[in-house]
Chains A and B, each alone.
Chain A
Protein backbone atom coordinates (compact mmCIF):
# COMPACT_ATOMS: atom_id res chain seq x y z
CA UNK A 1 0.00 0.00 0.00
CA UNK A 2 1.23 3.47 -0.86
CA UNK A 3 0.32 6.22 1.53
CA UNK A 4 0.88 9.93 0.99
CA UNK A 5 0.48 12.08 4.06
CA UNK A 6 0.30 15.87 3.77
CA UNK A 7 2.65 15.81 0.82
CA UNK A 8 3.69 19.31 -0.22
CA UNK A 9 6.03 20.45 -2.94
CA UNK A 10 7.10 24.01 -3.46
CA UNK A 11 9.53 24.72 -6.29
CA UNK A 12 12.43 27.15 -5.94
CA UNK A 13 10.50 29.58 -8.13
CA UNK A 14 7.88 29.70 -5.37
CA UNK A 15 5.25 27.74 -7.29
CA UNK A 16 3.30 25.54 -4.96
CA UNK A 17 2.81 22.36 -7.01
CA UNK A 18 1.26 20.15 -4.35
CA UNK A 19 -0.65 21.22 -1.24
CA UNK A 20 -1.05 18.78 1.66
CA UNK A 21 -1.96 15.82 -0.49
CA UNK A 22 -3.39 12.90 1.48
CA UNK A 23 -3.88 9.75 -0.55
CA UNK A 24 -3.92 6.00 -0.01
CA UNK A 25 -3.58 3.42 -2.75
CA UNK A 26 -4.28 -0.15 -1.66
CA UNK A 27 -2.37 -3.05 -3.17
CA UNK A 28 -3.51 -4.03 -6.62
CA UNK A 29 -5.44 -0.86 -7.33
CA UNK A 30 -5.06 0.92 -10.67
CA UNK A 31 -5.67 4.58 -10.08
CA UNK A 32 -5.88 7.29 -12.71
CA UNK A 33 -4.73 10.78 -11.85
CA UNK A 34 -6.37 13.40 -14.03
CA UNK A 35 -6.23 17.15 -14.11
CA UNK A 36 -5.23 20.06 -16.34
CA UNK A 37 -1.65 20.77 -17.28
CA UNK A 38 0.23 22.25 -14.37
CA UNK A 39 -2.08 20.70 -11.78
CA UNK A 40 0.85 18.83 -10.25
CA UNK A 41 0.22 15.32 -11.61
CA UNK A 42 3.76 14.88 -12.84
CA UNK A 43 5.22 16.35 -9.67
CA UNK A 44 3.15 13.96 -7.57
CA UNK A 45 4.43 10.78 -9.11
CA UNK A 46 7.99 12.12 -9.25
CA UNK A 47 7.82 12.88 -5.55
CA UNK A 48 6.99 9.24 -4.85
CA UNK A 49 10.31 7.97 -6.25
CA UNK A 50 11.99 11.24 -5.35
CA UNK A 51 13.08 12.27 -8.79
CA UNK A 52 11.61 15.46 -7.36
CA UNK A 53 12.36 16.09 -3.70
CA UNK A 54 9.16 16.78 -1.74
CA UNK A 55 9.22 19.86 0.46
CA UNK A 56 7.32 18.34 3.35
CA UNK A 57 5.02 15.45 4.20
CA UNK A 58 5.41 11.72 4.30
CA UNK A 59 5.34 8.98 1.68
CA UNK A 60 5.32 5.36 2.74
CA UNK A 61 5.40 2.31 0.55
CA UNK A 62 4.34 -0.78 2.52
CA UNK A 63 5.46 0.89 5.74
CA UNK A 64 8.81 2.04 4.37
CA UNK A 65 9.12 5.77 4.82
CA UNK A 66 10.56 7.09 1.55
CA UNK A 67 11.17 10.75 2.30
CA UNK A 68 13.93 10.21 4.83
CA UNK A 69 15.97 7.61 2.95
CA UNK A 70 19.67 8.11 2.31
CA UNK A 71 20.91 7.98 -1.30
CA UNK A 72 21.85 4.30 -1.04
CA UNK A 73 18.56 3.33 0.57
CA UNK A 74 16.67 5.41 -1.96
CA UNK A 75 18.25 3.42 -4.81
CA UNK A 76 17.07 0.21 -3.16
CA UNK A 77 13.59 1.65 -2.72
CA UNK A 78 13.46 2.81 -6.34
CA UNK A 79 13.85 -0.81 -7.45
CA UNK A 80 10.42 -1.44 -5.96
CA UNK A 81 8.78 1.26 -8.06
CA UNK A 82 8.65 0.90 -11.82
CA UNK A 83 8.20 4.06 -13.83
CA UNK A 84 6.76 4.46 -17.31
CA UNK A 85 7.30 7.74 -19.10
CA UNK A 86 5.69 10.12 -21.49
CA UNK A 87 7.62 9.98 -24.80
CA UNK A 88 8.91 6.58 -23.66
CA UNK A 89 12.30 7.91 -22.39
CA UNK A 90 14.16 4.93 -23.77
CA UNK A 91 17.88 5.40 -24.17
CA UNK A 92 17.66 5.65 -27.91
CA UNK A 93 21.12 4.51 -28.87
CA UNK A 94 20.95 1.35 -26.78
CA UNK A 95 19.31 -1.83 -28.04
CA UNK A 96 15.85 -2.93 -26.95
CA UNK A 97 17.42 -5.62 -24.77
CA UNK A 98 19.78 -3.19 -23.09
CA UNK A 99 16.89 -0.88 -22.38
CA UNK A 100 14.89 -3.67 -20.79
CA UNK A 101 17.88 -4.91 -18.79
CA UNK A 102 18.53 -1.38 -17.56
CA UNK A 103 15.54 -2.07 -15.30
CA UNK A 104 17.81 -4.46 -13.39
CA UNK A 105 20.54 -1.88 -12.79
CA UNK A 106 19.56 -1.48 -9.16
CA UNK A 107 20.17 -5.20 -8.62
CA UNK A 108 23.56 -5.73 -10.28
CA UNK A 109 26.96 -4.21 -9.60
CA UNK A 110 28.61 -1.61 -11.81
CA UNK A 111 31.13 -3.85 -13.60
CA UNK A 112 28.54 -6.51 -14.36
CA UNK A 113 26.29 -3.91 -15.89
CA UNK A 114 29.24 -2.28 -17.67
CA UNK A 115 30.13 -5.49 -19.48
CA UNK A 116 26.44 -6.32 -20.01
CA UNK A 117 26.90 -9.58 -18.07
CA UNK A 118 23.50 -9.78 -16.42
CA UNK A 119 22.50 -12.95 -14.56
CA UNK A 120 20.84 -15.57 -16.77
CA UNK A 121 17.62 -15.24 -14.73
CA UNK A 122 17.40 -11.55 -15.70
CA UNK A 123 17.90 -12.36 -19.36
CA UNK A 124 15.25 -15.08 -19.21
CA UNK A 125 12.85 -12.67 -17.57
CA UNK A 126 13.63 -10.00 -20.16
CA UNK A 127 12.85 -12.41 -22.99
CA UNK A 128 9.65 -13.49 -21.24
CA UNK A 129 8.50 -9.91 -20.90
CA UNK A 130 9.40 -9.02 -24.47
CA UNK A 131 7.49 -12.08 -25.61
CA UNK A 132 4.52 -11.03 -23.49
CA UNK A 133 4.38 -7.66 -25.30
CA UNK A 134 5.20 -9.26 -28.63
CA UNK A 135 8.65 -7.77 -29.19
CA UNK A 136 11.06 -10.64 -28.53
CA UNK A 137 12.16 -10.69 -32.17
CA UNK A 138 13.26 -7.05 -31.80
CA UNK A 139 15.68 -7.64 -28.90
CA UNK A 140 18.77 -6.54 -30.80
CA UNK A 141 17.19 -3.61 -32.64
CA UNK A 142 18.22 -0.16 -31.54
CA UNK A 143 15.47 1.61 -29.61
CA UNK A 144 15.27 4.47 -32.11
CA UNK A 145 14.28 2.04 -34.88
CA UNK A 146 10.99 1.26 -33.13
CA UNK A 147 7.57 2.85 -33.59
CA UNK A 148 5.96 4.80 -30.78
CA UNK A 149 3.75 1.98 -29.55
CA UNK A 150 6.62 -0.49 -29.66
CA UNK A 151 8.84 1.87 -27.71
CA UNK A 152 6.26 2.31 -25.02
CA UNK A 153 5.96 -1.48 -24.72
CA UNK A 154 9.72 -1.65 -24.20
CA UNK A 155 9.31 1.05 -21.58
CA UNK A 156 6.71 -1.12 -19.84
CA UNK A 157 9.09 -4.12 -19.90
CA UNK A 158 11.82 -1.98 -18.39
CA UNK A 159 9.53 -1.03 -15.53
CA UNK A 160 8.25 -4.58 -14.98
CA UNK A 161 11.62 -6.30 -14.96
CA UNK A 162 12.37 -4.34 -11.79
CA UNK A 163 9.79 -6.64 -10.19
CA UNK A 164 8.08 -3.61 -8.67
CA UNK A 165 5.29 -3.37 -6.14
CA UNK A 166 4.04 -0.14 -7.64
CA UNK A 167 3.92 1.35 -11.11
CA UNK A 168 4.28 5.08 -11.63
CA UNK A 169 2.97 5.90 -15.06
CA UNK A 170 3.41 9.40 -16.48
CA UNK A 171 1.21 10.23 -19.48
CA UNK A 172 1.82 6.87 -21.21
CA UNK A 173 -0.33 7.76 -24.22
CA UNK A 174 0.62 11.40 -24.74
CA UNK A 175 2.41 10.81 -28.03
CA UNK A 176 0.47 7.82 -29.34
CA UNK A 177 -2.43 7.55 -31.76
CA UNK A 178 -5.87 6.66 -30.32
CA UNK A 179 -5.72 2.99 -31.19
CA UNK A 180 -2.22 2.43 -29.86
CA UNK A 181 -3.16 4.43 -26.77
CA UNK A 182 -5.90 1.97 -25.96
CA UNK A 183 -3.68 -1.00 -26.58
CA UNK A 184 -1.03 0.39 -24.27
CA UNK A 185 -3.53 1.24 -21.54
CA UNK A 186 -5.09 -2.20 -21.80
CA UNK A 187 -1.66 -3.80 -21.56
CA UNK A 188 -0.83 -1.82 -18.45
CA UNK A 189 -4.12 -2.79 -16.83
CA UNK A 190 -3.76 -6.45 -17.70
CA UNK A 191 -0.20 -6.59 -16.44
CA UNK A 192 -1.22 -4.90 -13.20
CA UNK A 193 -3.92 -7.48 -12.67
CA UNK A 194 -1.63 -10.38 -13.54
CA UNK A 195 0.99 -9.25 -11.07
CA UNK A 196 -1.27 -7.70 -8.45
CA UNK A 197 0.46 -4.35 -8.91
CA UNK A 198 -0.90 -1.06 -7.83
CA UNK A 199 -0.42 1.81 -10.23
CA UNK A 200 -0.76 5.56 -10.42
CA UNK A 201 -1.44 6.60 -14.00
CA UNK A 202 -1.22 10.27 -14.95
CA UNK A 203 -3.40 10.81 -17.92
CA UNK A 204 -4.87 13.68 -19.88
CA UNK A 205 -7.55 11.70 -21.61
CA UNK A 206 -10.63 11.42 -19.40
CA UNK A 207 -12.10 8.74 -21.61
CA UNK A 208 -9.12 6.47 -21.30
CA UNK A 209 -8.99 7.09 -17.57
CA UNK A 210 -12.59 5.99 -17.19
CA UNK A 211 -12.11 2.94 -19.36
CA UNK A 212 -9.01 1.50 -17.80
CA UNK A 213 -8.90 2.46 -14.15
CA UNK A 214 -10.71 1.44 -11.00
CA UNK A 215 -10.46 4.77 -9.32
CA UNK A 216 -10.04 8.33 -10.49
CA UNK A 217 -8.40 11.14 -8.59
CA UNK A 218 -8.80 14.65 -9.96
CA UNK A 219 -6.09 17.15 -9.21
CA UNK A 220 -6.45 20.87 -9.60
CA UNK A 221 -3.81 23.43 -8.62
CA UNK A 222 -2.08 20.92 -6.37
CA UNK A 223 -5.20 19.83 -4.51
CA UNK A 224 -7.43 16.78 -4.78
CA UNK A 225 -10.86 17.86 -5.94
CA UNK A 226 -12.31 14.46 -6.85
CA UNK A 227 -11.65 10.97 -5.58
CA UNK A 228 -14.03 8.25 -6.58
CA UNK A 229 -15.05 5.56 -9.04
CA UNK A 230 -14.82 6.12 -12.81
CA UNK A 231 -18.60 6.23 -13.26
CA UNK A 232 -18.84 9.06 -10.77
CA UNK A 233 -17.48 11.47 -13.35
CA UNK A 234 -20.20 13.98 -14.01
CA UNK A 235 -20.14 17.28 -15.86
CA UNK A 236 -19.98 19.02 -12.50
CA UNK A 237 -16.91 17.05 -11.48
CA UNK A 238 -15.19 17.75 -14.77
CA UNK A 239 -16.00 21.44 -14.44
CA UNK A 240 -14.49 21.37 -10.99
CA UNK A 241 -11.30 19.78 -12.27
CA UNK A 242 -10.81 21.43 -15.61
CA UNK A 243 -13.04 24.52 -15.48
CA UNK A 244 -16.16 25.58 -17.35
CA UNK A 245 -16.82 23.77 -20.62
CA UNK A 246 -19.60 21.77 -22.23
CA UNK A 247 -18.86 18.32 -20.82
CA UNK A 248 -22.08 16.55 -21.76
CA UNK A 249 -20.72 15.27 -25.05
CA UNK A 250 -17.61 13.83 -23.42
CA UNK A 251 -19.59 11.89 -20.88
CA UNK A 252 -22.13 10.58 -23.41
CA UNK A 253 -19.36 9.32 -25.58
CA UNK A 254 -17.72 7.58 -22.68
CA UNK A 255 -20.71 5.38 -21.97
CA UNK A 256 -21.08 4.38 -25.60
CA UNK A 257 -17.50 3.58 -26.18
CA UNK A 258 -17.02 1.92 -22.88
CA UNK A 259 -19.42 -0.80 -23.89
CA UNK A 260 -17.82 -1.18 -27.27
CA UNK A 261 -14.51 -1.38 -25.50
CA UNK A 262 -15.68 -4.17 -23.21
CA UNK A 263 -16.54 -6.27 -26.20
CA UNK A 264 -13.16 -5.45 -27.65
CA UNK A 265 -11.31 -6.52 -24.54
CA UNK A 266 -12.94 -9.93 -24.38
CA UNK A 267 -12.35 -10.42 -28.07
CA UNK A 268 -8.69 -9.60 -27.81
CA UNK A 269 -8.38 -11.72 -24.69
CA UNK A 270 -9.79 -14.61 -26.70
CA UNK A 271 -7.37 -13.95 -29.47
CA UNK A 272 -4.48 -13.91 -27.07
CA UNK A 273 -5.44 -17.05 -25.19
CA UNK A 274 -5.93 -19.07 -28.32
Chain B
Protein backbone atom coordinates (compact mmCIF):
# COMPACT_ATOMS: atom_id res chain seq x y z
CA UNK B 1 0.00 0.00 0.00
CA UNK B 2 2.07 2.91 -1.19
CA UNK B 3 -0.46 5.68 -0.76
CA UNK B 4 -1.05 5.62 2.99
CA UNK B 5 -0.78 9.26 3.99
CA UNK B 6 -0.54 10.33 7.61
CA UNK B 7 -4.07 11.73 7.78
CA UNK B 8 -5.64 8.43 6.76
CA UNK B 9 -3.84 6.53 9.47
CA UNK B 10 -6.32 4.87 11.69
CA UNK B 11 -6.25 5.80 15.32
CA UNK B 12 -7.25 2.99 17.60
CA UNK B 13 -9.10 3.69 20.81
CA UNK B 14 -10.69 1.13 23.02
CA UNK B 15 -13.86 3.13 23.37
CA UNK B 16 -15.25 6.14 21.60
CA UNK B 17 -14.96 9.46 23.38
CA UNK B 18 -18.44 9.83 24.80
CA UNK B 19 -18.40 6.32 26.14
CA UNK B 20 -15.04 7.00 27.78
CA UNK B 21 -16.30 10.20 29.38
CA UNK B 22 -19.36 8.38 30.71
CA UNK B 23 -17.09 5.81 32.32
CA UNK B 24 -14.90 8.46 33.90
CA UNK B 25 -17.96 10.26 35.18
CA UNK B 26 -19.34 7.04 36.63
CA UNK B 27 -16.05 6.32 38.36
CA UNK B 28 -15.90 9.86 39.70
CA UNK B 29 -19.40 9.64 41.15
CA UNK B 30 -18.65 6.25 42.69
CA UNK B 31 -15.51 7.59 44.37
CA UNK B 32 -17.37 10.67 45.58
CA UNK B 33 -20.12 8.55 47.12
CA UNK B 34 -17.57 6.39 48.87
CA UNK B 35 -15.64 9.39 50.20
CA UNK B 36 -18.83 10.94 51.51
CA UNK B 37 -19.85 7.72 53.26
CA UNK B 38 -16.38 7.38 54.71
CA UNK B 39 -16.65 10.91 56.03
CA UNK B 40 -19.87 9.94 57.83
CA UNK B 41 -18.15 6.91 59.30
CA UNK B 42 -15.24 8.87 60.64
CA UNK B 43 -17.62 11.41 62.18
CA UNK B 44 -19.29 8.68 64.18
CA UNK B 45 -16.08 6.96 65.17
CA UNK B 46 -13.91 7.71 68.16
CA UNK B 47 -10.55 7.18 66.56
CA UNK B 48 -8.85 6.91 69.91
CA UNK B 49 -10.63 3.59 70.52
CA UNK B 50 -9.72 2.37 67.07
CA UNK B 51 -6.05 3.15 67.61
CA UNK B 52 -6.26 1.40 70.93
CA UNK B 53 -7.86 -1.68 69.34
CA UNK B 54 -4.73 -3.80 68.82
CA UNK B 55 -3.94 -3.62 72.53
CA UNK B 56 -7.49 -4.59 73.50
CA UNK B 57 -7.55 -7.38 70.97
CA UNK B 58 -4.31 -8.94 72.21
CA UNK B 59 -5.52 -8.54 75.74
CA UNK B 60 -8.75 -10.35 74.85
CA UNK B 61 -6.88 -13.15 73.11
CA UNK B 62 -4.64 -13.60 76.15
CA UNK B 63 -7.61 -13.87 78.42
CA UNK B 64 -9.18 -16.48 76.13
CA UNK B 65 -6.22 -18.78 76.64
CA UNK B 66 -6.23 -21.54 77.56
CA UNK B 67 -9.74 -22.68 76.59
CA UNK B 68 -11.64 -24.14 79.51
CA UNK B 69 -12.27 -27.59 78.04
CA UNK B 70 -14.34 -28.81 80.98
CA UNK B 71 -17.02 -26.39 79.79
CA UNK B 72 -17.65 -28.78 76.89
CA UNK B 73 -19.81 -30.95 79.17
CA UNK B 74 -22.53 -28.31 79.27
CA UNK B 75 -22.26 -27.62 75.55
CA UNK B 76 -23.46 -30.94 74.12
CA UNK B 77 -27.11 -30.10 74.50
CA UNK B 78 -26.80 -26.64 72.88
CA UNK B 79 -24.88 -28.22 69.99
CA UNK B 80 -27.65 -30.78 69.53
CA UNK B 81 -30.22 -27.97 69.61
CA UNK B 82 -28.29 -25.90 67.09
CA UNK B 83 -28.20 -28.75 64.60
CA UNK B 84 -31.83 -29.63 65.29
CA UNK B 85 -32.92 -26.02 64.67
CA UNK B 86 -31.08 -25.98 61.36
CA UNK B 87 -32.43 -29.36 60.25
CA UNK B 88 -36.05 -28.90 61.26
CA UNK B 89 -36.08 -25.32 60.01
CA UNK B 90 -34.67 -26.36 56.65
CA UNK B 91 -37.18 -29.19 56.42
CA UNK B 92 -40.05 -26.82 57.09
CA UNK B 93 -38.73 -24.34 54.53
CA UNK B 94 -38.24 -27.00 51.88
CA UNK B 95 -41.77 -28.34 52.26
CA UNK B 96 -43.26 -24.86 51.98
CA UNK B 97 -40.93 -23.57 49.28
CA UNK B 98 -41.68 -26.41 46.86
CA UNK B 99 -45.24 -25.34 45.98
CA UNK B 100 -44.35 -21.64 46.17
CA UNK B 101 -41.62 -22.13 43.58
CA UNK B 102 -44.11 -23.68 41.16
CA UNK B 103 -46.48 -20.78 41.71
CA UNK B 104 -43.66 -18.31 41.07
CA UNK B 105 -42.10 -19.88 37.99
CA UNK B 106 -43.32 -18.26 34.80
CA UNK B 107 -43.90 -21.56 33.02
CA UNK B 108 -45.83 -23.37 35.77
CA UNK B 109 -47.74 -20.63 37.57
CA UNK B 110 -51.52 -20.88 37.28
CA UNK B 111 -51.81 -17.14 36.73
CA UNK B 112 -49.12 -14.59 35.89
CA UNK B 113 -51.33 -11.65 36.77
CA UNK B 114 -52.48 -12.69 40.21
CA UNK B 115 -50.76 -15.72 41.78
CA UNK B 116 -47.22 -15.05 40.57
CA UNK B 117 -46.83 -11.58 42.14
CA UNK B 118 -48.04 -12.94 45.49
CA UNK B 119 -45.57 -15.83 45.35
CA UNK B 120 -42.77 -13.44 44.40
CA UNK B 121 -43.66 -11.12 47.27
CA UNK B 122 -43.56 -13.99 49.75
CA UNK B 123 -40.13 -14.89 48.42
CA UNK B 124 -38.76 -11.35 48.66
CA UNK B 125 -40.22 -10.71 52.10
CA UNK B 126 -38.81 -13.96 53.43
CA UNK B 127 -35.37 -13.30 51.95
CA UNK B 128 -35.09 -9.65 52.91
CA UNK B 129 -35.46 -10.30 56.60
CA UNK B 130 -32.45 -11.87 58.26
CA UNK B 131 -33.09 -14.99 60.32
CA UNK B 132 -32.00 -13.08 63.41
CA UNK B 133 -34.75 -10.53 62.79
CA UNK B 134 -37.26 -13.31 62.25
CA UNK B 135 -36.07 -14.78 65.55
CA UNK B 136 -36.42 -11.42 67.27
CA UNK B 137 -40.04 -11.20 66.16
CA UNK B 138 -40.87 -14.80 66.99
CA UNK B 139 -39.28 -14.60 70.43
CA UNK B 140 -41.37 -11.52 71.17
CA UNK B 141 -44.49 -13.37 70.09
CA UNK B 142 -43.91 -16.99 71.12
CA UNK B 143 -41.45 -16.58 73.95
CA UNK B 144 -37.82 -17.72 73.95
CA UNK B 145 -36.92 -21.28 72.99
CA UNK B 146 -36.04 -23.68 70.22
CA UNK B 147 -39.44 -23.39 68.53
CA UNK B 148 -38.86 -19.71 67.75
CA UNK B 149 -35.47 -20.69 66.30
CA UNK B 150 -36.90 -23.41 64.07
CA UNK B 151 -39.58 -21.08 62.74
CA UNK B 152 -37.09 -18.25 62.22
CA UNK B 153 -34.76 -20.46 60.20
CA UNK B 154 -37.75 -21.83 58.32
CA UNK B 155 -39.24 -18.46 57.42
CA UNK B 156 -35.89 -17.09 56.29
CA UNK B 157 -35.12 -20.16 54.16
CA UNK B 158 -38.44 -20.36 52.31
CA UNK B 159 -37.51 -17.42 50.13
CA UNK B 160 -33.98 -18.66 49.50
CA UNK B 161 -35.02 -22.17 48.48
CA UNK B 162 -38.07 -21.02 46.51
CA UNK B 163 -36.07 -18.40 44.58
CA UNK B 164 -33.34 -20.78 43.44
CA UNK B 165 -35.91 -23.48 42.72
CA UNK B 166 -38.19 -21.32 40.61
CA UNK B 167 -35.20 -20.18 38.59
CA UNK B 168 -34.37 -23.85 38.01
CA UNK B 169 -37.96 -24.52 36.96
CA UNK B 170 -37.84 -21.67 34.45
CA UNK B 171 -34.73 -23.20 32.89
CA UNK B 172 -36.10 -26.71 32.27
CA UNK B 173 -36.13 -28.23 28.84
CA UNK B 174 -39.61 -27.50 27.47
CA UNK B 175 -39.58 -30.17 24.75
CA UNK B 176 -39.37 -32.91 27.36
CA UNK B 177 -42.50 -31.45 28.91
CA UNK B 178 -44.10 -31.20 25.47
CA UNK B 179 -43.34 -34.86 24.82
CA UNK B 180 -45.10 -35.92 28.01
CA UNK B 181 -48.04 -33.63 27.21
CA UNK B 182 -48.36 -35.20 23.76
CA UNK B 183 -49.05 -38.62 25.28
CA UNK B 184 -52.31 -37.33 26.74
CA UNK B 185 -51.01 -36.97 30.29
CA UNK B 186 -52.99 -34.91 32.82
CA UNK B 187 -51.60 -31.81 34.54
CA UNK B 188 -50.33 -33.61 37.68
CA UNK B 189 -48.83 -36.36 35.52
CA UNK B 190 -46.98 -33.81 33.40
CA UNK B 191 -45.59 -32.34 36.63
CA UNK B 192 -44.57 -35.77 37.90
CA UNK B 193 -43.03 -37.11 34.67
CA UNK B 194 -41.99 -34.04 32.73
CA UNK B 195 -40.96 -31.36 35.22
CA UNK B 196 -40.05 -32.83 38.61
CA UNK B 197 -37.37 -35.26 37.31
CA UNK B 198 -35.66 -32.31 35.66
CA UNK B 199 -35.48 -30.15 38.79
CA UNK B 200 -35.03 -32.81 41.45
CA UNK B 201 -31.20 -32.68 41.52
CA UNK B 202 -31.25 -28.88 41.75
CA UNK B 203 -33.86 -29.07 44.49
CA UNK B 204 -31.86 -31.53 46.56
CA UNK B 205 -28.67 -29.53 46.05
CA UNK B 206 -30.33 -26.27 47.09
CA UNK B 207 -31.83 -27.86 50.20
CA UNK B 208 -28.54 -29.30 51.40
CA UNK B 209 -26.75 -26.04 50.62
CA UNK B 210 -29.29 -24.11 52.67
CA UNK B 211 -28.98 -26.60 55.53
CA UNK B 212 -25.26 -25.90 55.60
CA UNK B 213 -25.89 -22.13 55.75
CA UNK B 214 -28.55 -22.67 58.42
CA UNK B 215 -26.11 -24.41 60.76
CA UNK B 216 -24.14 -21.17 60.78
CA UNK B 217 -27.24 -19.06 61.26
CA UNK B 218 -28.74 -21.17 64.02
CA UNK B 219 -25.48 -20.85 65.96
CA UNK B 220 -26.25 -17.16 66.54
CA UNK B 221 -30.01 -17.27 67.12
CA UNK B 222 -29.36 -17.67 70.84
CA UNK B 223 -28.22 -14.04 70.95
CA UNK B 224 -31.90 -13.06 70.88
CA UNK B 225 -33.06 -16.05 72.93
CA UNK B 226 -34.14 -18.43 70.18
CA UNK B 227 -32.19 -21.46 71.38
CA UNK B 228 -28.93 -23.07 70.33
CA UNK B 229 -25.33 -22.42 71.23
CA UNK B 230 -25.62 -18.64 70.78
CA UNK B 231 -27.32 -18.55 74.17
CA UNK B 232 -24.15 -19.81 75.88
CA UNK B 233 -22.03 -17.47 73.79
CA UNK B 234 -23.85 -14.34 74.83
CA UNK B 235 -24.04 -15.54 78.45
CA UNK B 236 -20.29 -16.19 78.56
CA UNK B 237 -19.52 -12.80 77.03
CA UNK B 238 -21.85 -11.06 79.47
CA UNK B 239 -20.16 -12.73 82.42
CA UNK B 240 -16.72 -12.03 80.91
CA UNK B 241 -15.64 -15.68 81.06
CA UNK B 242 -13.36 -15.50 78.05
CA UNK B 243 -11.99 -19.02 78.48
CA UNK B 244 -15.52 -20.34 77.85
CA UNK B 245 -15.96 -18.04 74.87
CA UNK B 246 -12.93 -19.56 73.19
CA UNK B 247 -14.34 -23.07 73.68
CA UNK B 248 -17.63 -22.02 72.12
CA UNK B 249 -15.88 -20.43 69.15
CA UNK B 250 -13.90 -23.60 68.56
CA UNK B 251 -17.08 -25.67 68.77
CA UNK B 252 -18.84 -23.45 66.24
CA UNK B 253 -15.83 -23.67 63.94
CA UNK B 254 -15.83 -27.47 64.17
CA UNK B 255 -19.60 -27.75 63.62
CA UNK B 256 -19.45 -25.53 60.57
CA UNK B 257 -16.54 -27.48 59.07
CA UNK B 258 -18.32 -30.80 59.63
CA UNK B 259 -21.59 -29.55 58.17
CA UNK B 260 -19.79 -28.11 55.16
CA UNK B 261 -18.10 -31.46 54.60
CA UNK B 262 -21.41 -33.34 54.92
CA UNK B 263 -23.18 -30.99 52.54
CA UNK B 264 -20.40 -31.23 49.94
CA UNK B 265 -20.48 -35.05 50.20
CA UNK B 266 -24.25 -35.23 49.80
CA UNK B 267 -24.29 -32.81 46.87
CA UNK B 268 -21.60 -34.84 45.11
CA UNK B 269 -23.54 -38.07 45.48
CA UNK B 270 -26.72 -36.47 44.11
CA UNK B 271 -25.23 -34.93 40.99
A: residues with CB less than 8 A from B are: 49, 51, 75-79, 81-83, 85-87, 89-94, 98, 102-107, 110, 113-114, 155, 158, 162, 168
Q: What is the CA–CA distance of A231 and B170 in the complex, to the nearest angstrom?
A: 46
Residue of A at shortest CB range from B188?
A110
Interface residues of B in 182-207 (CB under 8 A from A): 182-186, 188-189, 192-194, 197-198, 200-201
Decide if B184 touches A78 in the complex (CB within 8 Å). Answer: yes
Residues of B near A90 (CB, < 8 A) are 176, 179
Majority secondary structure, B binding face: helix
The 3 closest A-B CB pairs, nearest first, are: A106-B184, A78-B184, A105-B185
B269 CB to closest chain A CB (Å) equals: 15
Give the contacting residue for B183; candidates A105, A110, A114; CB below 8 A.
Answer: A105
Give the contacting residue for A49; candidates B175, B182, B188, B198; CB below 8 A.
Answer: B182
Q: What's the A-B contact tally at a CB cutoff of 8 Å?
A: 84
Residue of A at shortest CB range from B175?
A89
Decide if B192 touches A91 in the complex (CB within 8 Å). Answer: no
Give the contacting residue for B180; candidates A81, A87, A92, A102; CB below 8 A.
Answer: A102
Decide if B198 touches A162 in the complex (CB within 8 Å). Answer: no
Residues of A near B176 (CB, < 8 A) are 89-92
B: residues with CB less than 8 A from A are: 173, 175-176, 178-186, 188-189, 192-194, 197-198, 200-201
Q: State whether A105 and B193 are in contact (beta carbons under 8 Å apart), knowing that A93-B198, A93-B201 are contacts in the complex.
A: yes
Q: In this complex, which of A76, A82, A105 has the most chain B Cβ atoms within 10 angstroms of its Cβ?
A: A105
Give the contacting residue for B193; candidates A49, A76, A78, A102; CB below 8 A.
Answer: A102
Q: What is the CA–CA distance of A90 and B176 in the complex, to the nearest angstrom?
A: 6
Residues of A near B186 (CB, < 8 A) are 75, 105-106, 110
Decide if B200 touches A113 in the complex (CB within 8 Å). Answer: no
Q: What is the CA–CA distance of A190 and B252 in the complex, to the nearest angstrom?
A: 67
Q: State whether A98 and B179 are in contact (beta carbons under 8 Å apart), knowing that A91-B198, A162-B184 are contacts in the complex.
A: no
